[in-house]
């Protein structure tokens, strides 16, 4: 992760350096990950691709968490017909596979970073809304909430002053868990040619561009970008799992995405 923050200026200069005389070189001392079909250093392109995919994942996860938190807190705090209506909308969207809905959304725009961010955000806020709503419904039965209502506090004041701060740790954890999921979503869309433009070095576009090399027996252009997707996912999932245990070990299943 540190390399993602330190190396990008160098990567930006190097990623366009085409050397057809060094195309598809296997891993060696000069190029630890080998080179791609245009002779570009695959290690630097993977680092830059991780930076782009991580940026998309973080922004999309944050946006989806904000949407899900607002929707879930509103449904849980107001209850009644608002709660029933919101949950019917959540159930309707949840019945459609994320990837299929994401393909439909990105198809409305030209390939780029922001269409992918919008696609991931609009397909991943549902689980956060459910988590936040369940937590709000649980908090509404607490004595201090009853005391606030008995003291004349409005529903809006109770939600803003008491309920929302109490669910923020769960929402933050949901956002962290959503980052690797969003990265996989971006990689899948880019691999299908519907995400980022092919000239942008994200992990998805690197894997998509290496399909021909894999069929020809060159394994490294596919293996290393794939590892750059898997390893950060496992690292983030492990850290989030430890955080989840510290927040509330008894409700592990409710915080799963």
In which residue are the tokens 């296997």 written?
26
d(CA 122, CA 107): 14
pTM for the whole thing? Answer: 0.78
Domains and CATH numbers, the chain: 2-255 (1.10.3720.10)
Torsions phi, psi of 232, nearest 5?
A: -60, -35
**pLDDT tens over the chain, length 257 residues:** 444 544 454 445 444 567 777 788 888 888 888 888 888 888 888 888 888 888 888 899 999 999 999 898 888 877 788 888 988 988 888 888 888 888 888 888 877 888 888 888 888 898 889 988 888 888 877 777 767 766 766 667 777 777 778 888 888 888 888 888 888 888 888 888 887 877 777 888 888 888 777 777 788 888 888 888 888 878 877 776 666 666 564 444 444 44
CB burial readout 94-107, b (16+ within 10 A) else e: eeeebeeebbebbe
d(CA 230, CA 237): 11
Written as one string, the DSSP assignment of 43-111 is: HHHHHHHHHHHHHHHHHHHHHHHHHHHHHHHHHHHH-HHHHHHHHHHHHHHHTS-HHHHHHHHHTTS-S
């Amino acid at each position: 992760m540190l390399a993602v923050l330190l190396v990008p200026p160098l990567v930006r200069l190097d990623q366009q350096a085409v050397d057809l005389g060094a195309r598809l070189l296997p891993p060696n001392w000069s190029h630890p990950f080998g080179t791609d079909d245009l002779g570009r250093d695959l290690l630097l392109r993977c680092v830059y691709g991780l930076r782009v995919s991580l940026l998309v994942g973080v922004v999309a996860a944050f946006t989806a968490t904000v949407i899900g938190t607002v929707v879930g807190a509103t449904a849980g705090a107001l209850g009644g017909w608002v709660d029933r209506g919101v949950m019917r909308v959540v159930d309707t969207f949840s019945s459609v596979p994320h990837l299929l809905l994401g393909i439909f959304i990105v198809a409305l725009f030209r390939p780029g970073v922001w269409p992918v961010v919008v696609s991931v955000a609009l397909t991943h806020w549902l689980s956060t809304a459910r988590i936040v709503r369940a937590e709000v419904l649980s908090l509404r039965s607490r004595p201090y909430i009853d005391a606030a209502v008995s003291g004349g506090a409005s529903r809006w004041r109770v939600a803003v002053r008491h309920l929302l701060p109490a669910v923020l740790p769960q929402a933050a954890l949901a956002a962290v868990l959503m980052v690797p999921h969003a990265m996989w979503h971006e990689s899948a869309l880019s691999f299908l040619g519907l995400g980022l433009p092919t000239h942008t070095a994200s992990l998805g576009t690197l894997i998509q561009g290496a399909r021909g090399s894999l069929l020809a027996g060159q394994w490294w252009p596919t293996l290393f970008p794939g590892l750059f997707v898997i390893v950060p996912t496992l690292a983030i999932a492990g850290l989030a799992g430890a955080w989840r245990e510290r927040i509330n070990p008894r409700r592990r299943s409710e915080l799963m995405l």
